[in-house]
Amino acid sequence: MNIKTILTLILFIIPLNVYGNFLKLNTPAKQVILYDHELKKVLFEKNSNDFMKPASMAKIMTAYIVFDRLQEGSLNLDDTFVVSKNAWQKGGSRTFLKLNSEVTISDLLRGLIVQSGNDAAIVLAEGIAGSEEDFAIQMNQYANSLEMKNTHFTNSTGWPHEDLKTTAYDLIILTEALINNFPKLYKLFVEKEFTFNNIRQPNRNPLLIGRYKVPGADGLKTGHTNESGYGLIGSVVRKNRRITLVINGLNSMKQRGKESKRLIELAFRETYTLRVFQNNEVLSTANVWLGDKSKINLMAEKPLKVLVNRSSLRMIKTTILWNDPVKAPIKTGQKVGVINIKIPGTDTLELNLVSKDNVNELGPIDKIKSAINYLIFGGDIN
């Protein structure tokens, strides 16, 4: 029996087990992370595990908790909470809620998400937990359950506090969980404006509206304090591929919008997901020894997804190897060889090569005839 080596392909790919930045770039931001949701890969990071102040990006956890209560049924969008003096008099960005008024969860969520209203965040916190302090305890419980190991919340708004802290990496964890766990409610983040109390306010996310608008953007949240600088969590979907950006520590709204757009566009332009061995396509055929079929079709055991990085192209060689002929009986999905993907400077990727067909073993007399035929004439053995 001989070893067959076929299917030599030149592909421009990088294996999934390569760690580090796929994108090589500079950015003025203090903390950055770009994340591919499908492959669960960090495309680029800068100081993503350094402590930072989230500012209003902390409101994503407030939204997460409200979403969770809505999904489990303990809250409904039509339920109302009363606007306390504590919420009404809070400074910063506001929904302009009226003191002692009753506001629906639906309106409070839009005030929180679209307008970044501190008053809306506090009303939600007090309505759920009784006080903002007790709500912060719940925020940290949720953070712990999500394994946001470097995060500590002190309030529902992201208002400056010496103990408030998170990391860009932890905010990616939170964002991915929110998108995955609450797909219907997540659509609130794409709303471009909200009018309450006859006051219309646009969404503050520069990726959604204005000169820095990005096609496919559907969330999430901006943040700014003097201590943290200007930050943003933005998520974009194109052709079923989602990339999320967390950026912080910029000097102005203009710089935040411009840099966020630049990094998102770079991520989509310079990286993409290459899918190979899809749909059980036939890669080659093999001869069969002593079976009721003379040949079998060969395919990869499973599809492979790899991340392309155009700034780090590598020419690689893909080969298929098996012992030919393959002895019957053969079951569909049975391993008959291997697929090797050789990447210069890295370990070789290996996938199982399997049969796409089922082949029964010949009976004793037919085995003899087939063996004699192969020995005399070679080639096909049936």
What are the tens digits of pLDDT across the range 137-188? Answer: 999 999 999 999 999 999 999 999 999 999 999 999 999 999 999 999 999 9
Write down the pTM of the prediction: 0.84
CATH superfamily name and code, 31-250: DD-peptidase/beta-lactamase superfamily (3.40.710.10)
Q: Which amino acid is at 192?
A: K
Instruction: Determine the topology of domain 2-15+276-377 in CATH.
Output: Peptidoglycan synthesis regulatory factor (PBP3), Domain 2 (2.60.410)
| pLDDT of 5 | 40
Q: What pLDDT does 343 receive?
A: 58
For the chain, how far is it from start to end, CA to CA, in angstroms?
Answer: 16
59 is known as an active-site residue = yes
Question: Is 312 marked active-site?
Answer: no
Q: Which of 46, 48, 53, 56 is catalytic?
A: 56
Residue ranges of domains in the chain? 2-15+276-377, 31-250
Which candidate in 46, 59, 221, 261 is catalytic? Answer: 59
**84 vs 251: CA distance, rounded Å:** 34
Residue 367 has pLDDT above 90, yes or no: no
Q: Which of 84, 116, 156, 235 is catalytic?
A: 116
